[in-house]
Amino acid sequence: MKVKFLGAAGTVTGSCHVVSTDAVRFAVDCGMHQGSDVIERRNLDVGVYEPRGMDFFLLTHAHIDHSGLLPRMVKTGFSGKVYCTPPTRDLLGIMLEDSAHIQEMEAEWASRKNKRHGGRAVEALYTRADAAAAVRRLVAVPYGEAFSPAPGVTAIYHDAGHILGSAFIELSLEEGGRRTRMLFSGDLGRPDQLLVNDPDQPVDADYLFLEGTYGDRDHKDVEQSRDELAQAIAYASKGGGKVIIPAFAVERTQEVLFCLHLLQKDGKIPADMPVFVDSPLAIKATEIFRRHPEYMDDETRDYFGRGEDPLSLPHLRFTESTDQSREINTLNGPAIVIAASGMCNAGRIKHHLRHNLWRPESCVVFVGFQAMGTPGRKIVDGARSIRLLGEEINVAAKVFTIGGFSSHAGQSQILKWLTHFKVNHPQVFLVHGEQKALTILSGLIKERFGLKVRIPQYLEEYTLEPGTEPSVAVDEAKARPRIDWDVLLAELAGRVERMRAQKDALAARSPEEQAEWSQRLAAVDGDLLRLLSEM
């Protein structure tokens, strides 16, 4: 049996783990790669997926970094079934269409630009027709129900507590008369989150594929995070500015609405402050949430049961059209604007940042993870300016980063989840995290549980046989250089941008400090040019 890592290996996007036996080949998740241009070029490399040879997909949840390449798989020859939970099926019906629309628009924009310079048209990664074809392949299976997508394969979905319908997957595979048990965590949720249940306890397995997004740190307290959001709103309200909240359309937007509902009930934010959800996808997703109370936690069901909608506010407006979206930035006075995308790399949020990022009376509130290379990550890392929609925008708004809203388990919560492996001692593969987070988490797991831990890299393939050490095969000409190049390029580009953004502040420093800074920048530039020349 073999497992090949086609994404979320040393990164937090592009989740896809391909499992192959003598009889079947399938994948857990099929996510889009997001971040730097170099990382996103992986979306074009269909060959490594071999879509025509894929028997089926098992999806852990609907987020695009776990599902967003499905239409491209269908477009390039995949013809099997895609299994998921019922809420995931419903959410993908809107999310893949939205993603395809973005792909079409970006291809159209790039084609016009190329043609102005005598170049060729750009083909979309996939189209809305491809997305619709992918949705038709979805097969919904509830939590706790065993199913067999192929002979010798049994799967069970368990509640991962991450977003509505998210799951970790229990797998039992038969090969050569032997059964192997595997557990794929998907994105593991944190306890006591609004809307969704706490994660189910894990079941025993021979191999555990565990996410480590926050393997190097814990989240802030939930109550503290709500108070910080109230402080951000008070800051903008006092100055007459806007609160701009980049938020993922699915789960994070709904959680922020729930939080605002609670803050207004407690009198912690102005009762008459307008709140805009400026994302057609988030608006549709909110309606899907309302249709699936059976997948929510007891607290949320109690709200709905007594006729109180926790996803509503007195001055809440859903803005679906582009004209309605533009009107938000013509309104005077304070307002809260929730818009996608959560990492500021697409969607209407870029327009709201363009109109408000340079205003000192406004604030930007980050409530989710910002991947390396994204505009959101650059702002969080302290960039003095960023380029948006072809224009360099000064960062003068107050920036709040509130970690308590994350729908991912923090370090302590991951470790606590692992304590439930009572009988078996699985071999662990850490995925879905940046290298620093995975390395720290790996050390803690080895120290506390005595488990064997590996951190796979992009395109590595492991041969698994229970009771023996996994062996890894790497195409040195393809896998290792690619991951080194991709990660280093993203890191170096970020360092160069941050250092350039500091040049104005350095004008007031001594000549010695300025000379040292120039040497450091030249060294980074040199490394970047060397890597580019060797690719």
CB 13 within 8 A of CB 34: yes
Which residues have CB under 8 Å from 455's CB, separation 6+?
Answer: 10, 429, 430, 435, 438, 439, 442
Structure tokens at 324: 């309605």
Rounded to whole angstroms, the Cα distance separating 129 from 100 reads 8
Instruction: Specify the pLDDT at position 533.
Output: 46
CATH code assigned to 222-405: 3.40.50.10890
Listed in sequence order, the residues at least 6 apart from 518 whose beta carbon sits closer than 8 Å to its beta carbon are: none
Q: What's the rounded Cα separation, in Å, for the pair 385 and 475?
A: 40
Three-point CA angle 38, 40, 45, nearest 5°: 95
Q: How far is CA 489 from CA 313, 484, 530, 535, in A?
A: 44, 8, 10, 11
pLDDT digits (tens, 9 = 90+) for 113-154: 888 888 888 899 999 999 999 999 999 999 999 999 999 999
pLDDT, tens digit, 9 for 90 and up, residues 72-123: 999 999 999 999 999 999 999 999 999 999 899 989 988 988 888 888 888 9
Q: What is the phi/psi pair of residue 7, to 5°?
A: 175, 170
Residue 464, sorted as left (phi over 0), alpha (psi -120 to 50) or beta, turns out to be beta
pLDDT at residue 484, rounded to an integer: 43
Classify strands 363-366 and 385-388 as parallel, antiparallel or unpaired.
Answer: unpaired
What span, in angstroms and rounded, lies between the C-alpha atoms of 75 and 367?
A: 34
Q: Which stretches does DSSP call E strand in 333-412? A: 335-339, 363-366, 385-388, 391-394, 398-401
Dist. CA 485–CA 490, nearest whole Å: 8
Calpha distance 346→106 (Å, rounded): 10
The total number of residues shown for the chain amounts to 535
C-alpha to C-alpha distances, 387 to 41, 374, 489, nearest whole angstrom = 20, 11, 19
The separation between the first and the last C-alpha atoms of the chain, rounded to the nearest angstrom, is 33
CATH placement of domain 2-217+407-469 = 3.60.15.10
Helix (H) or strand (E) holding 262: helix 252-265
Residue 336 has φ and ψ, to the nearest 5°, of -110, 125
Three-state DSSP at 521 gives helix
Question: Taking the domains of the chain in order of start, what are their residue ranges?
Answer: 2-217+407-469, 222-405, 483-534
Element (H, E) at 511: helix 511-534
Task: For 459-504, write each residue's pLDDT tens digit.
Answer: 999 999 877 888 888 654 444 434 445 555 555 665 566 566 555 5
List the chain residues with pLDDT less than 50: 476-484, 533-535
CB atoms under 10 Å from CB of 10, counted, come to 22
Using CA atoms, how far apart are residues 165 and 178, in angstroms rounded to an integer?
Answer: 32
Q: What is the pLDDT of residue 466?
A: 75
Q: For position 502, what pLDDT does the model report?
A: 59
